[in-house]
Amino acid sequence: MCFNLQFVFYTVFFIKINIFLLSISFLMIALVGNGGIFAMKKILSIVCFFMLNFSITTNAQIELGVEDISGVADNNISSENSDNKNNLLDSTLNLFDSTKKEEPKEKITVDMLKEKADNGDIQSQLDLGYMFLYGSEGVNIDYKQALHYYGLAANNKSPVALNNMGSLYFNGIGTEVDYEKAISYFEEAARLGSNDAAVNLAIIYLGDSKKNKTSSDWQKIYDLLEQAQQSNYAAKYLLGYSYYKGFLVNQDYIKAFKLIKEAADNQYDEAQYVLSEFYISGNGTTKNYNHAVKYLRLAVAQGHLDAIIKLADILSQGKIYNLDIINAHILYNVAAVMGSDYAAKRRDLLEKSLKIEDLLSVQANAENYKPEVSKQTSFIRQTFGNSLKAYIDMNIENTTSSNLF
């Protein structure tokens, strides 16, 4: 479309120029005929000046038009990515509060913030806690100071500060590790509406394998996940996986599919892998092998080992998707490097059916494989490990009843 518009523009432009020049030519002939040589030179200089400036202006308009169109698209993409980034930070599992800080409208010095914080201004207390925790705005990292200012805001019942105080005590940052104090901060933050604190608590309770949990404990975990899933995609996934397995709640594939798909579409690799199982089995949704492979590919691109092996199995068998020994070998080779003995055996088995030139090519492709992990996945992995569903699977193995309250 852009090419056609430019073609039309240039066509009209040159027609107009030709008409203009033709008119000038007749005028010049008339002037010469009347002996107006000086006038003719004057007109020629005006014509040259006009054409030069019109050409520059026209080209500038064309370039501006292209830049403007692409600029709007780029801005939309940038805005979308920015929103996704905010969603990643705001809705991903995070021990610290994930609300993005806005840039101050006016320059405020640290001393000014300290004065306001000492006078009870909660936002200044939060800003100083953040600055000392992460070393931003030219401030050196000082965990004790971060603890101090977050403590002031927590005393003022700020859910953000309460959650962050829980994180500091849980991780022993600026203070000694104190799990009981951390949990008390998380509980108060969750009660005041912090979904970050709610999912933190749920994970802590799920990960406590030493405690014999009562029905009230399971109810508390469910309530926390239900609260947090309103805006937190890790919580959505955990609650969806609970419905999938019939853990904490009665098994419900439709609810499970909906929640897990939301997490998968927000680029969490494990959710993408688990979602493929729904499309293969037809539980909670219609069977769709194309969709299954699509989500497996998304997880494979992030380096999810189980997804790599699952997709390799599908491609090597050719039962629910097109047979593709070449790519199956590549995937098995990658998974073998990641430590899968099963994948190594499957790779060596497929190798026998490949020509030497194909084998050399696929080995090079496997060597060049580099996963690109999303911010969502990276954030969850760094905070709670490679698998969220492992917390639920562990509890299922350690309990006699799947529906626990």
Consecutive 10-residue averages of pLDDT for the chain (405 residues): 40 45 44 42 40 33 25 31 33 49 66 94 96 92 96 96 96 95 97 95 89 89 97 96 97 98 98 98 98 98 98 98 97 97 97 94 94 95 91 89 56
What is the C-alpha to C-alpha distance for residues 354 and 362, in angstroms, rounded to an integer?
A: 10
The DSSP symbol for 157 reads: T
**Residue-by-residue DSSP string for 91-104:** HS--SS--PPPPPP
For residue 64, give the amino acid letter: L
Domain topology for 108-193: 1.25.40
Given a contact cutoff of 8 angstroms between Cβ atoms, the answer to whether 254 and 218 are in contact is no
Place of tokens 């030179």: 41
Q: What angle do CA 240, 241, 245 make, to 5 degrees?
A: 120
Place of tokens 């002031």: 152
Closest to 204 (Cα-Cα) out of 173, 169, 156: 169
For residue 293, give the amino acid letter: V
Which pLDDT belongs to residue 30? Answer: 42
Which pLDDT belongs to residue 269? Answer: 98
Q: Indicate the Cα dihedral angle 218, 222, 223, 227, nearest 10°.
A: 150
Which pLDDT belongs to residue 404? Answer: 60
Contacts of 317 (CB under 8 A, 6+ apart): 323
Closest to 247 (Cα-Cα) out of 388, 387, 380, 399: 399
